[in-house]
Amino acid sequence: MKETASPMYNLMMNPKKVVDVAAFLEEDIGTGDITAAIIPEAALATAEVITREDMVLCGQLWFDEVFKTLDPDVSINWLVAEGASVNEGTLLCTLQGSARALLTGERTALNLLQTLSATATVSRQYADALAGSDCKVLDTRKTIPGLRDAQKYAVACGGCYNHRIGLYDGVLIKENHIIAAGSIAKAVQIARAQTTVPVEVEVESMQELLEAIMAKPDRIMLDNFNLADLKSAVKLNAGAAELEASGNIGLVNLRAVAQTGVDYISIGALTKHINAIDLSMRITLVHS
């Protein structure tokens, strides 16, 4: 079982498949921006977006789509490449166009950019922590509702990898699935008969690990195993299935977990425990 194809691929092939900002604009604008209406309709403005903290830039396509949707004539000039690491105070981009469009789109565009950049920034920290290792850091489905593909794109942008995108592209058999099916072996057998997608089993003990190995899934998730047990699991598995460590793993113990010999480490914090990057958009009226 390999990590799933990155949403980055989807973006390159079909940007609109992932970059859809209609719902985000709708929740903010509703029946209309009654504050921007005080600005003359013909007024033009320029704007600059800067970061107030170190970051990995991610989300240009979403940012651009907000203003393109509001007014196709708004021009945006990015001064920093997508995925680049930048320092506090860096000018990220400049904008020019309708003052109303810039004012109306400001918050939605920044919300998306600051959230995806935060995801990419955290992901880069984890990727850097395993530099030189064969072990890969995976994301999870613990994403912000409505931003699943976007956050998984940001994870890839930051240098980590995607686990399954949703419930449709990979089987992950957990405790309740096993109870309902009757056993690990039966759960894997049923899953194999129903679908051709990769099959993964989560185990919580060495006994369950042995049962999982005998059932021959594509991958086994070792849930909350300590370092000693992870090493024993790798030895017992002997390459029979890919191994993924999960639970109570952070930057402080990430490399130690990787050194046990597991193939993957899944980290919910990549998309769940993020603090939005502090960005500022300064608008200057140039004509009214």
Residues making up the annotated binding site for substrate are 107, 140-142, 164, 174, 202, 223, 246-248, 267-269
Helix, strand, or coil (residue 215): helix
> Catalytic residue at 152?
no
Active-site residue, from 68, 148, 174, 216 = 174
Two tokens at 239? 């390459």
Active-site residue, from 142, 148, 216, 272 = 142
Q: Where are the alpha helices (DSSP H) in the chain?
A: 7-13, 15-18, 22-29, 60-70, 99-129, 148-158, 175-181, 184-194, 206-215, 227-237, 254-258
Two tokens at 82? 């997508």
Helix, strand, or coil (residue 60): helix
H or E stretch at 200? strand 199-203
Helix, strand, or coil (residue 273): coil
Q: Please state the residue numbers annotated as binding site.
A: 107, 140-142, 164, 174, 202, 223, 246-248, 267-269
> Catalytic residue at 204?
no
> Catalytic residue at 107?
yes
Active-site residue, from 65, 200, 223, 242 = 223
Active-site residue, from 3, 202, 242, 263 = 202
> Catalytic residue at 223?
yes
Active-site residue, from 16, 17, 107, 235 = 107
> Catalytic residue at 235?
no
Helix axes of 60-70 and 99-129: crossing angle, nearest 10 degrees:
170
Active site residues: 107, 142, 174, 202, 223
